Amino acid sequence: MNSSRKRVLSGIQPTADSFHLGNYLGAVKQWVALQETHDAFFCVVDLHALTVETEPKLFRNRTLLAAAQLIALGLDPVRCTLFIQSHVHEHNQLAWVMECLTGFGEASRMTQFKDKSQKSGSDRTVVGLFTYPILQAADILLYQPQYVPVGEDQRQHIELTRDLSQRFNSRYGETFVLPEAYIIKGSAKVNDLQEPTSKMSKTSDSAAGVIDIMDAPEINAKKIKSSVTDAEREIRFDEKNKAGISNLLTIYASLTGKSISESEADFAGKGYGDFKSGVAEVVTDYFAPVRKRTLELLEDEAGLLKLLKTGSEKAEAVASQTLTKVYDAMGVVPRGK
Ligand code: TYM
């Protein structure tokens, strides 16, 4: 770890049997690049995933699967600090402090909470979903990062984190840095293949619109080939009128490293069928080795846990320092020696 580097922190939930293309292009792809230039902390936020009731064996498998996928996608546990959130107890401890600083109305205005609780109704909405963004703020503030690399949908949670950071500092003295969202414009929002104006999401109504990176190549190729487009013939980026084609262009450009105009040029004069086949080939070729590597990593569970233990020790060293600073600033009496 090079301390002159700026710090970044981000997290991902282990709520599915695979990350989807939105998770990768909106977040993880940036993380892989940032570990080369920043002091980078990344965690599998298993405590956040407890807001969704999951069978324990499945929950356990998904947590390990998430960590394995992150490594297979290019996170190197030597070049970054990779850990499981629940292994660092300070996350829950700082979350309580932050809950005591957050207004009820302020938490009620979080759009992700509003959407999810409206969908399930108040009797089936757990309190953990309400306090979810506050735990997220604690995840971030514990590590004093300058940047938080996330997709567009997380912007409001980062704003709340910034408000809490400033509130704490003005009440108890300069303690936290003010983190900024780090959002890459082009791929910050990958949309559903069947509903190209809504974001690709693991809670989508139809699995046909979501590309899971752990799925077999044939499945993903089929999904891309059946994606919703429009009645025109031209392959042109125009989010307003051609949401489906624009989404596929974003995916193609992000995975090949080409610009949108270079991507359009690759398919000039071609029809939608050829375009979809081209995108399908790029996607399946890109993720085939990732899938293979993930499965290999999962075969050696002890080895994987060892890598994660090293990460949680590095994370804990930073987190415990921050929590001590926070408790001291608030006048919480330390335990006698
Ligand atoms: P999660 O697990 O839902 O998503 C992980 C990351 O993937 C991004 N993402 C997308 N980006 C582009 N297009 C999409 N369709 C798309 N869908 C998901 C998300 O923006 C996210 O960056 N609350 C966070 C987890 C979290 C966290 C944190 C993040 C907990 N603590 C601390 C940063 C810092 C979440 O729901 O991630």
Residue-wise pLDDT for 308-333, tens only, equals 999 999 999 999 999 999 999 999 99
Average confidence (pLDDT) over 97-126: 93
List, edge to edge, every strand of the sheet that includes 39-44.
Answer: 81-84, 39-44, 7-12, 147-149, 180-182
CA 109 – CA 166 distance, rounded (Å) = 19
CB count in 10 Å sphere of residue 293: 16
Average confidence (pLDDT) over 60-77: 98
Look at residue 124 and tell me whether its pLDDT is greater than 90. Answer: no
CA 173 – CA 191 distance, rounded (Å) = 42
Give the predicted TM-score (pTM) of the model.
0.96
CA 106 – CA 24 distance, rounded (Å) = 30
Pocket-forming residues, ligand 1, beta carbon under 6 Å: 9-13, 22-23, 26-27, 45, 48, 136, 139-140, 148, 150-151, 153-154, 157, 188-190, 199-201
**φ and ψ of 198, to 5 deg:** -110, 155
From the CA of 315, how far away is ligand 1's center (Å)? 20
At 52, is the secondary structure helix, strand, or coil?
Answer: coil
From the CA of 11, how far away is ligand 1's center (Å)? 7
Residue carrying the six token digits 């233990």:
309
CA 141 – CA 146 distance, rounded (Å) = 10
Catalytic residue among 6, 116, 223, 225: 116
Look at residue 188 and tell me whether its pLDDT is greater than 80. Answer: no
From the CA of 127, how far away is ligand 1's center (Å)? 20
Return the pLDDT at 216.
97
CA 15 – CA 203 distance, rounded (Å) = 10
Of residues 124 and 40, which shows the higher confidence score? 40
CB count in 10 Å sphere of residue 183: 21
Nearby residues of 194 by Cβ (< 8 Å), 6 or more positions away: 206, 208, 209, 227, 228
Q: Is the dihedral of CA 111, 25, 231, 261 positive or negative?
A: positive
Average confidence (pLDDT) over 110-116: 92
Q: Whose CA is nearest to atom 31 of ligand 1?
A: 136
Look at residue 215 and tell me whether its pLDDT is greater than 60. Answer: yes
Nearest ligand 1 atom to the CA of 191 is 15
Reply yes or no on whether 116 is catalytic: yes
pLDDT band at residue 3 under the 50/70/90 scheme: low
Look at residue 8 and tell me whether its pLDDT is greater than 90. Answer: yes
Q: Whose CA is nearest to atom 18 of ligand 1?
A: 23
Question: Three-state SS string across 158-199, please?
Answer: HHHHHHHHHHHHHHHCCCCCCCEEECCCCCCCCECCCCCCCE
Look at residue 10 and tell me whether its pLDDT is greater than 90. Answer: yes
With the most atoms of ligand 1 within 8 angstroms of its CB, the residue from 91, 135, 154 to mutate is 154
User: Is residue 150 left, alpha or beta, with left meaning phi > 0 and alpha meaning psi from -120 to 50?
Assistant: beta
Return the pLDDT at 80.
98
At 20, is the secondary structure helix, strand, or coil?
Answer: strand
From the CA of 270, how far away is ligand 1's center (Å)? 35
Q: Whose CA is nearest to atom 19 of ligand 1?
A: 151
Residue-wise pLDDT for 157-166, tens only, equals 999 999 999 9
Contact between 145 and 9 under an 8 Å Cβ cutoff? The reply is yes
pLDDT band at residue 260 under the 50/70/90 scheme: very high
Return the pLDDT at 121.
87
Residue-wise pLDDT for 24-37, tens only, equals 999 999 999 999 99
Q: Whose CA is nearest to atom 20 of ligand 1?
A: 151
- Using alpha carbons, select from 66, 68, 76, 77 the residue that is nearest to residue 299: 68
Look at residue 2 and tell me whether its pLDDT is greater than 70. Answer: no
Return the pLDDT at 165.
98
- Using alpha carbons, select from 316, 186, 333, 335 the residue that is nearest to residue 261: 186
From the CA of 31, how far away is ligand 1's center (Å)? 12
How many percent of the chain have pLDDT more than 70? Answer: 99
Average confidence (pLDDT) over 42-63: 97
Q: Whose CA is nearest to atom 9 of ligand 1?
A: 23
- The HSE-up count of residue 207 (CA atoms within 13 Å, CB side) is 10
Reply yes or no on whether 202 is catalytic: yes
Catalytic residue among 119, 189, 199, 225: 199
Q: Whose CA is nearest to atom 37 of ligand 1?
A: 12
